[in-house]
Amino acid sequence: MRERQKGLYRKHPFKHMNPFAGTSSRILNSGARLVYSLRTVGVIRTLRELGPRVRYQFSRMTRRSPAHPPDLRTIETCDWVRSLHQIDVGQRSISAVELSSFLSESRYPRYFYRRNRRIRYALWHYVGFELCALQDNAVVLDVGAQGGVWGRIARRRFGCTVSDVDLRYPPGQNGHRIGASAASIPLPPCSLSHIVSFCSFNCFERDGDIGLLREARRLLRVGGCLVIVPLCIGAQHVNLFDPALVEGDASFDAGACRIPWPGWGNNFGRWYNAQAFTDRVLNHLHGFAGVIWNVVHPFHAATGSTSFYAALLRKNVP
């Protein structure tokens, strides 16, 4: 009996868990996401989304061969970024001690991001706070906020005003949630001090990325900043997609290399090469000056790389 108990104890989802990682339990993670969804989009929208999600997860479970991510090493090489003349480049290192302090002080959710996804998002969110340097008088917009984790932490820690924008939310402004496209946000001009985007800028289909840059120029005050984490730049212009979620080719960029990622769970993701970054980003940054940061960290085993890029773009003209 003791051996059986010992074996069960070892299988417990919290035993020997990486202190930075999320729970290994799919049930706990799914339950937390369900609670967040009910809070952010309501019962009716949650139920509408639940059916397609369950069918998708069932198709993943019944797939004969497990899904493997594509080899992205060829597009993670980004030597050209230091040759850009329109924008500066810097480097920032994050230690395990810094991330541990952030997780503790921010009361970062344990059960929303499963396994190593928690480390990745915590890194991105921590960098976002570092770049924003928020004060209690800040007026912030989180674009593509999903569950609104970053905004909740910002409101609690800094007492500032943070609105979450996502297409999943009911249309229009409902408290601090705004249901709208990133290219058409129903807020008055020059009303914001910060706009942030975490793992969403690279997922905007068609000209959504260009649309957000135009909206940032309209919505930010002089001196306000746009923070993008991560900034997906590399040696190739790539469009990632999950074949189970994509029909047709209307969402793809002209000239981009299309890479399928079965089981990924997202319908679109964009990596910029030098030409695409110039055409889709730099050419639409009139009135902005900024820095691209290469963020180095010790979590290679969890994230698959030792660094990522982030952008801090500050509006400097009316």
Q: For 148-166, write each residue's pLDDT tens digit.
A: 999 999 999 999 999 999 9
Nearest CA-CA partner of 200 in 273, 253, 268: 268
pLDDT band at 10 (very low <50, low <70, confident <90, very high): very low
Residues 279-314: tens digit of each pLDDT: 999 999 999 999 999 999 999 988 888 999 999 999
* pLDDT, position 67: 57
DSSP state letter for 242 = -
pLDDT of residue 6: 37
Tokens of 299: 């979590």
For position 193, what pLDDT does the model report? 98
CA diameter of the chain: 73
Can you give the pLDDT at residue 5? 36
**Domain 73-315 CATH assignment equals 3.40.50.150:** yes
**Mean predicted confidence (pLDDT) in 28-51:** 72
Query: Could you tell me the sign of the dihedral formed by the alpha carbons of 107, 111, 117, 121, in that order?
Result: negative
Distances (CA, A) of 104 to 126, 135, 235, 316: 12, 20, 37, 35
Cis peptide bond prior to 318, omega within 30° of 0 = no
pLDDT band for position 4 (50/70/90)? very low
pLDDT of 236 strictly over 50: yes
- What gap in Å lies between CA 302 and CA 18, rounded to an integer? 10
Residue 74: pLDDT band with limits 50, 70, 90: low
